[in-house]
Amino acid sequence: MRALTAAAGLVGIGLLAGCAPDYSAVRDWSVQARETLLPPASVRPASGLAIAPAPPAEVTAEGRLGAVRALQEAAAAWLAVLAYMGDDGLPRGRTNQFGALAARVQPFDAEGAAAVDALGETLATGVRRNWRAPALREAVDRGNAPFQGVIAALARQTAALEREARAGDAQAVEARRAALALIAEGHALLQERHARLAGGETARLLRLQESELRRLMALGGGG
């Protein structure tokens, strides 16, 4: 009798696991968007994403380039957490780890600095509340506004940096702008469909965006 009871319990657990929401599309989109945003691998340390999202990398660049790098790191760190939560990981960092990034942005874009700080605080609040996969809907809902602010500031400061350089591949410049717009659109899609993140239509739309981000990266739209 005990053996039958134990077997029934294992079957029940298996059924529950089989009914768990599938957030793989959100995870894969977040990973692709993060890869698109980050600076080239040669100028940043190896990522700890496979184990758990690492804190944002230290930004050593000065001036406006430093502001751009800080905005990239903030957005990328948030996307890494979304990907990790999609696999039911428990993010780390109970305090706001974006303060140094916000300080890099402040001299050039006060609105962007405030968005970086707000995104860091949203993440820290989520960690303190033990956000995992079941809280993914809340994460994208609460994080959308500051994330959009970070991406908007990144678009402004990247454009200013390109103007200062007065040179560059026009195709790559256009690809970078399109990639930023697409990432903002993708996160807005997550927020809009936060109650249906595991739905088939959501997955289809996110995979279309992944494909387009890969195309834009090939044209020079990454980092």
- Written in H, E and C, the secondary structure of the chain is CHHHHHHHHHHHHHHHHHCCCCCHHHHHHHHHHHHHHCCCHHHCCCCCCCCCCCCCCCCCCCHHHHHHHHHHHHHHHHHHHHHHHHCCCCCCCCCCCCHHHHHHHCCCCHHHHHHHHHHHHHHHHHHHCCCCHHHHHHHHHHHHHHHHHHHHHHHHHHHHHHHHHCCCCHHHHHHHHHHHHHHHHHHHHHHHCHHHCCCHHHHHHHHHHHHHHHHHHHCCCCC
Model confidence at 126, pLDDT cuts 50, 70, 90, reads: very high
List the single range of 22-31, 90-99, 141-150, 165-174 with lowest mean pLDDT: 165-174
The token duo for 174 is 């256009």
What is the structure's pLDDT at 4?
Answer: 47
Q: Indicate if the pLDDT at residue 16 is higher than 80.
A: no
Q: Indicate if the pLDDT at residue 33 is higher than 90.
A: yes
For the chain, what is the mean pLDDT?
87
What is the structure's pLDDT at 19?
Answer: 55
Model confidence at 169, pLDDT cuts 50, 70, 90, reads: confident
Taking the C-alpha atoms of residue 51 and residue 48, their distance in angstroms, rounded to an integer, is 6
Model confidence at 112, pLDDT cuts 50, 70, 90, reads: very high
Q: Are 112 and 149 in contact (CB under 8 A)?
A: yes
What is the structure's pLDDT at 188?
Answer: 98
pTM assigned to the model: 0.88
Cβ contacts of 134 within 8 Å, gap of 6 or more: none
Count of C-beta atoms within a 10 Å radius of residue 1: 5
Model confidence at 221, pLDDT cuts 50, 70, 90, reads: confident
What percentage of residues in the chain have a pLDDT greater than 70? 85
Q: How far is CA 124 from CA 3, 51, 112, 127, 221, in A?
A: 45, 19, 18, 5, 30
pLDDT digits (tens, 9 = 90+) for 37-72: 987 654 555 554 456 787 888 899 999 999 999 999
What is the structure's pLDDT at 13?
Answer: 40
Q: How far is CA 2 from CA 7, 12, 16, 174, 206, in A?
A: 9, 15, 21, 66, 46
Q: Indicate if the pLDDT at residue 11 is higher than 60.
A: no
Task: Please state the rounded mean pLDDT for residues 72-94.
Answer: 93
Q: Indicate if the pLDDT at residue 10 is higher than 70.
A: no
Q: What are the extents of the domains in the chain?
A: 22-218
What is the structure's pLDDT at 93?
Answer: 87
